[in-house]
Chains A and B, each alone.
Chain A
């Protein structure tokens, strides 16, 4: 109990003093996960809208695969990316392994199914309502998808949030392709794992507290924004 209290006090001090190591890790984590979320949203939201509004043979199979990929274990995806990005892999020439770029790439693929599948579900509900109107107005399929994305933007924030939450909290994929290198690829989750294994609970706890604070802040921001755009 004494250790816990001491660790908690030290963690609070690290946060209050804006410890340089702590700040560096937090900023890299945000850079990697926000970049991955933004790119996944740019790809996954239009894709989800098109899946919701278009009928084609095998659509059910695409939906099942997409839903399955939502549960992809990060460490497995990390392994696949490791094999592709390693020197002997097909993308070894890009020299991305053990860089933040590799971490962003793996997180994009980790959260892309989540963003796409959630977007599809959200847009499908509005499509049922809008289809007669947009059909009557002779709005084309692409324009219809764009309209639906804009009109469901409040709900789509939740899809983006789910993607970000998955990215910022996962450890398996980024540790495999990033390598947890100090001052280069060390992010909050990999640092927590490392510091805990070393018995350095203060830094681990401080990072854990910041992770929770970020999750809380992002949720609050999304909630307040959603209230404004839902009507």
Chain B
């Protein structure tokens, strides 16, 4: 089954804020399914790139198209979902957080509420107020809620940044489940080991530019940029400080 939002074409995209250039002349094409990890140091522009690809922020120049449609197109946006670093949960029960999304006019999930609860291992907490869950449970709920619209593309902004290893493992299982269901996943992460485990492709961002765009295996074994090599090796360079 082909992904209707692929290929992604980004052409000469820039983002300026308060006279500062935060993303600079980004051009790339992504055609393959699977998981694309977006790596880079703090402040490199990873999360901004993710939000720009999702159409959550207006860029200053350039174009972003998904399957030939502009990112600003409503139907394009409606086929995408995002999970944030700090989960934003509605002030209602666990199951009603999911059913809220499923009731949206454009929601087209193959899952039922019960199946998503099971996927998140939260069936026994369905009626509990969502904000009383633990950090890991909240992120699992946010993740399956993002699946409730039936997205073709899933954006993950450091979804395991604040989680312990056990909670991280469960989120990674959910990421793999999403990718297995032909959902294109963009994963922003600082965790190089996680990118090695999950990603088929890597975008390495530095100073608001795409420093390297390569298959994950190639990126981790033969990076073409010295900055990529330093990042993989955990070495800080002066320009990144």
Chain A interface residues (CB < 8 Å from chain B): 129-130, 132-133, 135-139, 143, 147, 150-152, 154, 229-231
Q: Are B149 and A137 in contact (CB-based, < 8 A)?
A: yes
What residues of A have a CB within 8 angstroms of the CB of B104 in the complex? 137-139, 143
Q: Are B77 and A138 in contact (CB-based, < 8 A)?
A: yes
A97 to chain B, nearest CB (A): 44
Q: Are B91 and A137 in contact (CB-based, < 8 A)?
A: no
For A135, the closest partner residue in chain B by CB is: B56
B225 to chain A, nearest CB (A): 31
- Cα separation A150 to B88 with both chains bound (whole Å): 15
For A151, the closest partner residue in chain B by CB is: B91
A132 touches which of B77, B84, B90, B91 (Cβ 8 Å) = B84
Known contacts A151-B92, A230-B91; A132/B106 CB under 8 A: no
Check: B61 CB closer than 8 A to any chain A CB.
Answer: no
Known contacts A137-B81, A138-B104; A151/B90 CB under 8 A: yes
B56 touches which of A129, A136, A147, A151 (Cβ 8 Å) = A136
Q: Are A133 and B131 in contact (CB-based, < 8 A)?
A: no
Knowing that A136-B54, A231-B91 are A-B contacts, what are 16 other residue pairs whose CB atoms are under 8 Å apart, sorted by A's residue number?
Answer: A130-B90, A132-B82, A132-B84, A133-B84, A133-B88, A135-B56, A136-B81, A136-B82, A136-B155, A137-B101, A137-B149, A138-B104, A138-B106, A139-B104, A150-B92, A230-B91
What residues of A have a CB within 8 angstroms of the CB of B168 in the complex? none
Known contacts A136-B56, A137-B104, A137-B149; A147/B90 CB under 8 A: yes
Check: B132 CB closer than 8 A to any chain A CB.
Answer: yes
- Cα separation A143 to B132 with both chains bound (whole Å): 25
Which of A129, A130, A132 counts the most chain B CB atoms within 10 A?
A132
- Cα separation A123 to B129 with both chains bound (whole Å): 20
Which of A130, A147, A154, A231 counts the most chain B CB atoms within 10 A?
A231
Q: 10 A-B contacts, Cβ less than 8 Å apart? A: A129-B88, A130-B90, A133-B84, A136-B54, A137-B104, A138-B77, A150-B92, A230-B91, A231-B131, A231-B132
Which of A138, A151, A152, A229 counts the most chain B CB atoms within 10 A?
A138
Chain B interface helix/strand/loop/mixed: mixed
For B82, the closest partner residue in chain A by CB is: A136
For B79, the closest partner residue in chain A by CB is: A138
A157 to chain B, nearest CB (A): 13
Q: Are B56 and A132 in contact (CB-based, < 8 A)?
A: yes
What residues of A have a CB within 8 angstroms of the CB of B25 in the complex? none
What residues of A have a CB within 8 angstroms of the CB of B90 in the complex? 130, 147, 151
What residues of B have a CB within 8 angstroms of the CB of A139 in the complex? 104
What residues of B have a CB within 8 angstroms of the CB of A230 in the complex? 91
Q: Are A138 and B74 in contact (CB-based, < 8 A)?
A: yes
Check: B63 CB closer than 8 A to any chain A CB.
Answer: no
B123 to chain A, nearest CB (A): 20
B88 touches which of A132, A138, A152, A154 (Cβ 8 Å) = A132
